[in-house]
Structure 1
Amino acid sequence: MMSILSTRSLDKTQMSMLKNAGISIETYDAISITHLNTEIPTAFSHYIFTSKNGVRAYLKNRKEYLPHPDELLCYCVGEKTKSLLEEKGLKVVKMTNNASELAHFIVNESEKGPFLVFTGNRNRPDLGNILRQNGISFREIKGYETHLNPHSFECEFSCILFYSPSGINSFLTANKPGNSMAICIGETTAKEARKHFIKVKIADKATTDAVLDKLIEIYPTLAIT
């Protein structure tokens, strides 16, 4: 029997979707997030969010004297991040599937900021490096911290679902990749996965549901890969 692991907890609807597809899965949270108290500078009206956690950090720390949401122009990574921003009444100028793609979009646009980038303690440097190399003015503000939650598993999984590079790092702290296939939420996560896993697949969209869709799609072939 094939064993599948999700490095993020799934809700009842998602678990039901997999059950209906005949897939049994084990889940755990490979990482945890702490949102920080931080002072948001007032001189920016162009915000960059690379995850929902950055949005939540902004919402936790925004003050009345900050620019009104109507005055903010937001750039973000991922559909879920975009949905959360719009749900909170913020205007999204551009959404991309990864940070590098977003950075290149900004470089090629006439609007040059300056930008305020909401980051965590383990953010990858891709976006900042590209903006810096192209003379784009920005400032980073750390709004949250990612903590690894390593857990050792006795079995080798046929397939492991990953949602961030940090999740991969957490899993590998206590386990070996073996011959497992990694299904990743996006290219940034896949880039990290390829350093350790021989077989790597990427979801068609950067959402948890899309990761599960990819699992369901390839599940019949897992036994022979």
Structure 2
Amino acid sequence: MNTVLSTRILSEDQTRALQDAQIGVVEYNAISIDLKDFTLPTGFTYFIFTSKNGVKSYLRHRANNPALNMLEISCFCVGQKTKFFLEENGQKVIKMAENALELANFIAKQYKNERFLIFTGNRNRPDLRRILSKENIVFEEVEVYQTNLVPQHHNRKFQGILFYSPSGVKSFTQENEIGNTPVFCIGETTAREARKYSEHVTIAEKPTVDSVIEILIKNLSTLIK
């Protein structure tokens, strides 16, 4: 049986999907997330969230500061899960994009004269702030969570490796080599990091864990050498 490595713990349904396809899986969390205390800058009504972790940290801060419940904001975000999580918690989402680059270009065209507060982590890529700065759009960043690498050495060869973030790639490659093992990534940003170590990178059709598993099941047998 072919066995793959997932750099995050999967749900029971996701593990079962692999088992049904006669694929074994070894799972571990290559990164951990710590939500941070922060001071919320004032004067902004347009908030940008690049991940669900940023939303979690903001909501925790809001729960600890009841006066913020009166604040009316409009949100821009990256990723469908981030959008759903915002809406589930009563937040208005103006625009959801698949990646930060797409979101930045949308803002530059449609909201060039507005002011934005970006909720970010310590390892976020510079794509968003680079374009906003280039377009002279006013913004401020507040770091609300920390991504920690959790390197782990693996004394075996896998037939595939699943990555869900650039940080996951960095964590894995601190202790291991990818070599010729096929790599399956959740999106282009993660794939960009993976291509530094591998020429055998496949990107999921949608930026979800389920889609990564689907593309793995569909392509693994043809990619194994």
The residue number in structure 2 matching 1:65 is 67
The residue number in structure 1 matching 2:224 is 223
Is the Cα–Cα contact under 8 Å of residues 106 and 112 in structure 1 kept in the other structure? Answer: no
Alignment deviations for residues 145-172 of structure 1 (CA, whole Å, 9 cap, x no partner): 0000000011122211101000000000
Is the Cα–Cα contact under 8 Å of residues 112 and 135 in structure 2 kept in the other structure? Answer: no
Matching of residues 28-67 of structure 1 within 5 Å: 28-62=28-62, 63-66=65-68
Q: State the Cα RMSD in Å.
A: 1.3
Q: Does 1:74 align with 2:75?
A: yes
What TM-score do you get using the length of structure 2 for normalisation?
0.95
The residue number in structure 2 matching 1:124 is 125
Q: Report % sequence identity.
A: 49
The residue number in structure 2 matching 1:145 is 146
Q: Does 1:106 align with 2:78?
A: no
State how far apart, in whole Å, the 1-side matches of 2:180 and 2:147 are.
27
SS at match of 1:127: helix
Q: CA deviation at 1:90?
A: 0.6
Gaps spanning 5+ residues in structure 2: where?
none
SS at match of 2:23: coil
Matching of residues 75-224 of structure 1 within 5 Å: 75-110=76-111, 112-224=113-225
Q: Does 1:6 align with 2:2?
A: no
State how far apart, in whole Å, the 2-side matches of 1:92 and 1:200 are.
32
SS at match of 2:2: coil
SS at match of 1:204: coil
State how far apart, in whole Å, the 1-side matches of 2:113 and 2:69 are.
18
| Equivalent residues, number | 223
Alignment deviations for residues 16-68 of structure 1 (CA, whole Å, 9 cap, x no partner): 12112222111100000000111112321101011100101101112232364
State how far apart, in whole Å, the 1-side matches of 2:69 and 2:108 are.
24
What TM-score do you get using the length of structure 1 for normalisation?
0.95
The residue number in structure 2 matching 1:22 is 22
Alignment deviations for residues 146-199 of structure 1 (CA, whole Å, 9 cap, x no partner): 000000011122211101000000000000111111111111111111111111
